[in-house]
Amino acid sequence: RFHRRSIFSPHPQQVTLVSHLAVRGLPALTQQLSSWSSFASVCLVVAKEEEKAVIDKWWRSSASALQLVDLHLLLPSASSHPHSECPANILRNIAIGAARSTVVLLLDVDVLPFTDRMVAIDRAAQRLLSDGSDERQVFVLPAFEFAAQAATMKPLDLRQDFVPSSTPADQHVGAHTREKLRLLSLLDRGLVRQHRVLHSPRAHGACDYERWIAATRPYAVHYAAGFEPFLLCRQDIPRFDW
């Protein structure tokens, strides 16, 4: 059900972040929103009635949530087992359907959108807007996680390569290209790796990361069993099975 709506309304051409979680994931949502400067549509599953007060307190105490986040709650039915897991795609579908912009970015709550001034996302979003709903295409986003040896480094040390450069040598390079070069530097140093590659390599394997490293333009990705991509897509895409 609808719970809270942001003070401001998104422009139809803005990108809305779509995420879903249980109440225990609110700290992760706070961190995710700190890396996102646009609107968000979020669905939470509420296991107990008292959790609604926790959600309200979080929403009212966050200026960015008040201004930019729409919250939707999925409440258990009377027949639900108190410890049963709600399929994630139900939550995802609710958040997608409630998004108030044409283009949405679908991410798990523990994934940070890490982009240099939104350049790459904005360009892809404009293509989705101009192509229209008949094309039925989506953009699959590569995702990375910090490797074990990065755990001892300060967050600033890991992010400093992504600070926009102002050196003369970089003036002819697009912002999204600078971002990728800095990410490749982290890969070369063994500080990041493909998201979930150790525990679930098929989840993002179809992205073909070796090809992505060398790519200078988007390329087609084909579905494979176990594929769980993060997507930039139109809000009117077919809903997820569950």
Q: What is the pLDDT of residue 117?
A: 54
pLDDT, tens digit, for every residue of 96-140?
Answer: 999 999 999 999 999 988 755 567 788 889 889 887 666 678 999
Given this model, what pLDDT does residue 47 score? 85
Per-residue model confidence (pLDDT) at position 203: 94
Domain with CATH 3.40.50 in the chain: 2-106
Range 208-230 average pLDDT? 92
Q: What number does CATH give the domain 2-106?
A: 3.40.50
Q: CB of 126 within 8 A of CB of 142? A: no
Angle at 226 between CA 223 and CA 232, to 5 degrees: 55
Please give the backbone phi and psi of residue 194, each rounded to the nearest 5 degrees, phi first: -55, 140
40-78 residue pLDDT tens: 999 999 988 889 999 999 988 988 889 999 999 998 764
Residue percentage of the chain with pLDDT more than 70: 80
pLDDT confidence bin for 172, thresholds 50/70/90:
very low
Hey, what are 163's tokens?
Answer: 């600070």
Residue 15 has pLDDT above 90, yes or no: yes
Global pTM reads: 0.84
Assign 19 a pLDDT band (cuts: 50, 70, 90).
very high
- Judged against a pLDDT cut of 70, whether residue 18 lies above it is answered with yes
Q: What is the DSSP letter of 150?
A: G
